[in-house]
């Protein structure tokens, strides 16, 4: 009788140990799954990586938001840069964009579908790995929508009804907003889209603006991609990157000074617009 009781006690103890092990396993697995899910959920978060100069941020309601390095950018947020000011946005580890000076961009996100609305200025984009079949990254202006999958280049807004895209490596698809025209732009090409139509030209190293050139100069893998895909003189881009940026900034400053002077003369020296 005592033997049976001892066997029963052993079985109960073993069962308790087994249940304890199962519960511990479930707890650890649950915590691990939560961590993995959290990491996956933030993989395509848009974050303000850094800023230089004067940069402003507004939420979807138009209210100013305090800027912090690494902060998450929610759908509807709008970034604006002043003269000699730049902003870097990371979409995940393989997607990054840089706002040029005097640029305004609104970010939008719905799941894995990302969109950047450029209303003024220039935007440099660098997608180092092709997007998955479930992802989209569109860069929209008033005249076109550029679908990016794995490439680098610059989108520029040149006026109320004119914009362009320059491609440094890879290929993008561009849809003109004025109609059903869909065009493919590949490495070493530039496409302009305006109210009067489209025009395609061949890029040269001198066409790369300074704010993008300094990013290329600091990324050897990007240099290799561009040189291999487009045949552009990357060496010239790298060696003259800082000078080109300084020249672009000086040119923009001179243009703004001329506008300010014209406005002042128009208003009899008051310096204020009517």
- Residue 30 pLDDT > 50, yes or no? no
Tell me what pLDDT residue 267 has: 82
State how far the Cα of 117 lies from the Cα of 163, in Å rounded to an integer.
12
Tens-digit pLDDT profile for residues 86-121? 999 998 778 899 999 999 999 998 888 899 999 999
Tens-digit pLDDT profile for residues 212-266? 999 999 999 999 999 999 999 999 999 999 999 999 999 999 988 888 888 888 8
Give whole-number Cα distances, 119 to 106, 107, 145, 173, 261, in Å.
Answer: 8, 11, 12, 20, 25
Tens-digit pLDDT profile for residues 128-159? 887 887 888 999 999 999 999 889 999 999 98
- Work out the burial of residue 128: count CB atoms within 10 Å of its CB; fewer than 13 is exposed, 13-18 middle, 19 or more buried: middle
Look at residue 203 and give its three-state secondary structure.
Answer: coil
State how far the Cα of 263 lies from the Cα of 242, in Å rounded to an integer.
32
Tell me what pLDDT residue 17 has: 65
CA-nearest of 170, 167, 163 to 140 is 163
State how far the Cα of 77 lies from the Cα of 63, in Å rounded to an integer.
9
- Mean pLDDT along residues 195-223: 95
| Tokens standing for residue 263 | 């406005």
State the Cα angle at 93 between 104 and 220, rounded to 5°.
Answer: 90
Tens-digit pLDDT profile for residues 31-89? 444 333 333 333 367 899 999 999 999 999 999 999 999 999 999 999 999 999 999 99
């Amino acid at each position: 009788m005592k033997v049976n009781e001892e066997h029963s006690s052993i079985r109960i103890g073993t069962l308790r140990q087994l249940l304890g092990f199962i519960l511990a396993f479930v707890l650890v697995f649950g915590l691990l799954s939560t961590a993995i899910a959290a990491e996956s959920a933030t993989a395509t978060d848009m974050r303000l990586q850094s800023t230089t100069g004067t940069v402003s941020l507004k939420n979807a309601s138009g209210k100013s938001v305090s800027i912090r390095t690494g902060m998450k950018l929610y759908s509807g947020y709008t970034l604006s840069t002043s003269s000699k000011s730049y902003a870097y946005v990371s979409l995940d580890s393989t997607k990054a964009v840089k706002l040029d000076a005097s640029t305004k961009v609104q970010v939008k996100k719905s799941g894995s579908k990302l969109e950047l609305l450029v209303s003024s200025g220039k935007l440099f984009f660098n997608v180092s790995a092709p997007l998955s079949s479930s992802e989209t990254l569109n860069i929209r202006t008033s005249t076109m929508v550029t679908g990016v999958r794995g490439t680098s280049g610059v989108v520029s807004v040149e006026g109320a009804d004119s914009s362009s895209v320059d491609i440094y490596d890879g290929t993008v698809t561009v849809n003109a907003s004025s109609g059903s025209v869909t065009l493919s732009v590949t490495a070493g090409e530039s496409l302009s889209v305006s109210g009067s139509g489209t025009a395609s030209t061949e890029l040269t190293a001198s066409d790369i603006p300074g704010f993008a050139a300094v990013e290329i100069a600091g990324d050897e893998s990007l240099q290799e991609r561009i040189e291999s895909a487009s045949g552009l003189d990357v060496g010239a881009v790298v060696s003259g990157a800082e000078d080109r940026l300084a020249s672009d900034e000086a040119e923009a400053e001179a243009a703004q000074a001329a506008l300010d002077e014209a406005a002042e003369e128009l208003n009899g020296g008051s310096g204020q617009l009517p």
